[in-house]
Structures are given as structure tokens and as C-alpha cells.
Structure 1
């Protein structure tokens, strides 16, 4: 039976993608293309899950006309929404591709009141037992990263399968609640343990440490180097296809969503990782989330390596 899936986006956004030949100060820079997309890391997860045929419900905060746009666009895709409406306007972020350079302009977002935070936590508290909930991205003004531990506690009490893709060091506090999966990138994993950079050996060592501290699974996204999956029973390294990178903003979200989607649809860990790597790459080669058309071809160039090192 496929579990009910919820996504929770604390800091939703509209992402505006633009392409220009070059970008110069103090003059009008006219774009060649523009594309508006509902965003926020777990908004991306919801969209990609739906493209895989996996139904899900989107939770989080929205406000103003931009928030209504996000809600409307998700509903058009057939995604159920149960957002918490707030005062203020959901943010708009801008991503500009100028030749071989990429500029990312990301706003903070509106302020969230304590009442609205409580309203969201109450919604999470009502999620049916056994469901999977994905929490990802930054937290808006008015909310501290303590909310991640609150959600982890509720998930543990209600027997929810919690997936965390967050950069806050509060992740370490959440591990005692035994999240189903955590998905850091290399830089985040290093930061959790007070390091600026880590070698491949340290990458594996720290990933294992996350497991020892309570996580059931770890999926480390490594950009053009692929990804690393760690559980108590296995360690798997996956390569990624090479190609022209257009936009990296959503690639990690696509990787996570496609991995989870394939797992809940009954695929093996190896096949889920292979598909996820191709989907992440296809997204990096696109203006926004990949439409999956190129994924089968990209999967052919992916290698999967099983690393036989037990977790002590």
C-alpha cells in the first residue's frame, strides 16, 4: 500500500527564471526568456511526485496574490493543497542565466505570527499514522529553526515517516526522533559537524555518524559527482550524467522527490537512486523541474557502486 504523502514548505515562493545574453549594471537588461514557477523546496517535491503519479498534499504558509498563484498552479496539476494563509505576500525569487554565469536573488519572505505557526503544527498533528511527510527549505521571518524539532517530535509521536532536507544544524537535534530519511548536500553535511570542507572519506564517515545518531537513511546529494545513499544495511554511490547545466536551483529537490516516489512505488534502492540521479541531472539541464522525457536516456550513463562497509 502506497503511504499518504504530505509536503511542508515553510517559506513558499514564486521563482522567476530569466535568460539574458549578458548582465550589466546601470542599463536596461532585456531578457530572452522568462518563466514563472511555484516554488519552495517541498513545492518542487510535490510537483515531481505528481509527475511520477504519486498523489500528495501540500502544506505550508502562503500569503497574498503570489500565494494564491502558487495554490492555483498546484491545484491545476492535481495536487491537493491545505496551506495556512498568512498576512503579507509570498516572496518572489529571481534566477538569471547570463551566458555561462548564473545569478540567484532570493528574498526572505513574509513574517509568520505565532498563531499561524500553531495552526500549521496542528495540521501536521492531524496527519494519519503511517503517512510520509517531507519538510525542506528555509524558515521565514517570525519562525525559528526550533520548528524542525517540533515537527520531528510530532512525527515521532504520531508514527509519521519524516523526511528532512534542511541546512539548519537543528537537524542534529531531530535525529533522536529517528527520521525516515535526511538529505543533506556535501556542504551541509560538513557544516553540521563544524567543518568547512570534507573529503570523500569524511563524507562517508559523517554520513554514517548521522545514522548512528538516529536517522534511518541518509541521501547525500553531490551535484555533478552524483549522490551517496547510506542506511544501516548498505552504502551505495551513484554517478550522475554530464551535460550543459542551465539551472541548479531545483536539482536537489528533483533528486529527493524522484527517489522517494520510486521507493513508495516499490522500486529497489538501486533503481530508485539511478532514476533520481537522472531526474536531478535532467532538472539541472532545464530552466526548472524536468518533465522526465529525457530521464530514460540519461539513466543509461549512470553507474551504481555498492560499498561494503558496515555501520558499527
Structure 2
């Protein structure tokens, strides 16, 4: 079974106004509510690919119920730890050329709830795969990631990590199946200036450091520059399709979900990378998650570059 774990989910409220002024009542001309969270997005994308999965994490209050209802409506199984607090609502306001983003902290997660989540994860089996992505909620520190990575070794399940916390480096010795940093996150982990990664060779060298620390696979999201993939046998890059960018917030989640989903569907690494790059761009070109209908067309724009031989000779 495929599991996704979202510890700090949210309802994202997208609103649009003709004008947005202080001290007056501003009335929207558009609003949209979306169940959100990095791995919740992955659950939706896997389901769109026909891959059954189960979403877990922390949910609370009427907002948590809305998120769980949306997942179930999409045919996704749920097994959340229900908390006393209220799952957060984030608000994104567009008014003319200006955009405002109000991201809330969310509830405090106590140790009892954290232990309940760990207990659920401890029930996973060797044939299972777990995605853990996104920010950590209040009350939860990075050590929970290490607890999960140690469980992946003990129980034998595959672990996919997409987190900004530097604690991820402590998890690499447990050999996660795949990690997905952005180039900015990679720079922060290695105390590098992000601008140095404009040089592909420097970026490859940095990702190889993560492989040497224990990661089995590294997928680097680079926005409009495309995607880079590395394992112990190959270094691959893809260019990104061109289009009008509407919302980049969920593009990386789409990239990761569709890449791993494609591998689960027995696609080659190369084909999975091309498909996922196109899918991530498709999400960036729409207000919500991609429906995947335009992915075949976008795939025709994606160029695959094999850097493996060049790196071996350098």
C-alpha cells in the first residue's frame, strides 16, 4: 500500500478582488477552497494516476473534517490522528497585479498525538511505501523524521522524504528510497550560496554528497530550469515545458507524486522523469492540481539530458 503523511495540512482559500484596500469591506469576485498539504496533493495525484493510497497525519476541527471529506470524496482512504485543535486555513489574495499570502501557524500537536502517528506508521510492512512531506506543525520537532526513518529500516518499508528541515540529513544514514530537495533547500542543507547551483556541475556535486550520505535517489526540482535526477548509476536532467505560470505552489508535489507513481507503474527512470516534469508544469499552468489531460502534449516539449558519462569523466 502507498501511504502519504501530512503533519501540517491546511485548507487553502484562494480569493480574487478587483481592488483590496485597508479599513474597508472588500468583496471578492472569485473564491476557491482546496484541501492542501504537500502529501495530500500527492495523494490526489496518485489517485488521478489510478494508484490507490491512504492519507495520514494530523487533522482537527471542522477544517480537518473538510479535508478528510475531500480526500474520501476522491476515493482516497484516510487514517488520520484526530487532534483537539483546528487545522489551519491559509488565505491567498489576488488583487490586480498584487498578491497577498497569509499562512497561519496551525495547532500545537502534543506528544500523545505524535506517538499515535508513530504507532500507525510502525504498522507498515515491507511492501509499503510512505511519503512524508511538508512543514512540521507547532510542538513537533525534526526528531520525528528520524523516528520515521528508523522505522523504515526496522519495518522494511520504502520512505520518500520532501522536507525542508535540516534534520533530513540525519535520516540519510537510514537510506531513504528517495529525497526531493529544491535547489534552494539543497543549498541551505549544505550551507552553500544558492547562486552557485546555477552551475550544473556544482549542483550535481552537491546532490552526490546526499547519495554518499545514504540517500538511494535524489530528485531536484528546479522550477523553470526543469528537473535533475541522480542515483548511483545515472545523472539525468530534463528541461521544463513553456507556458503561462499561474500557481507554482503545488508543482513540486505533482512532480514527486507522478515520478514515484510512474516508477510504481513500472515505467523506466527516463520515462518517469519526462512524465513527471510535464505533470509538474501542468500544475504550474493551472489554478489547482493538474488533471493530467495536457501532459502528453507537454511531454513533447521536455528534453532529456543524460549527464552520466560526463560526470564519470570529470
- TM-score (ref. length: structure 2): 0.95
Structure 2: runs of 5 or more not aligned? none
For residues 156-192 of structure 1, the C-alpha deviation after alignment (integer angstroms, 9 at most, x for no partner) is 1111110000001101100000000000001000000
Alpha-carbon deviation of 1:98? 3.5
Residues 1-312 of structure 1 aligned to structure 2 (within 5 Å)? 4-197=1-194, 198-199=196-197, 200=199, 201-308=201-308, 309-310=311-312
Alpha-carbon deviation of 1:22? 4.6
Contact 1:233/1:310 (CA < 8 Å) preserved in 2? no
Alpha-carbon deviation of 1:12? 1.1
Q: Secondary structure at the match of 2:306?
A: strand
Count of paired positions: 309
Distance 1:90 1:230 in 2: 36
Alpha-carbon deviation of 1:311? 10
Segments of 4+ moved more than 6 angstroms: none
Distance 1:229 1:21 in 2: 42
- TM-score (ref. length: structure 1): 0.95
Contact 1:111/1:140 (CA < 8 Å) preserved in 2? yes
Distance 1:49 1:274 in 2: 16
Contact 1:175/1:215 (CA < 8 Å) preserved in 2? yes
Alpha-carbon deviation of 1:288? 1.3
Alpha-carbon deviation of 1:196? 3.1
Distance 1:81 1:152 in 2: 21
Residues 1:57 and 1:286: Cα distance change in structure 2 (over 3 Å): same
More deviation in 21-30 or 282-291?
Answer: 21-30
Distance 1:128 1:146 in 2: 22
Distance 2:99 2:267 in 1: 35
Distance 1:274 1:99 in 2: 35
For residues 41-61 of structure 1, the C-alpha deviation after alignment (integer angstroms, 9 at most, x for no partner) is 000000000000000010100
CA RMSD, 1 decimal: 1.5
Q: Secondary structure at the match of 1:61?
A: strand
Contact 1:176/1:213 (CA < 8 Å) preserved in 2? yes
Structure 1: runs of 5 or more not aligned? none
Alpha-carbon deviation of 1:272? 0.8
Distance 1:258 1:67 in 2: 25
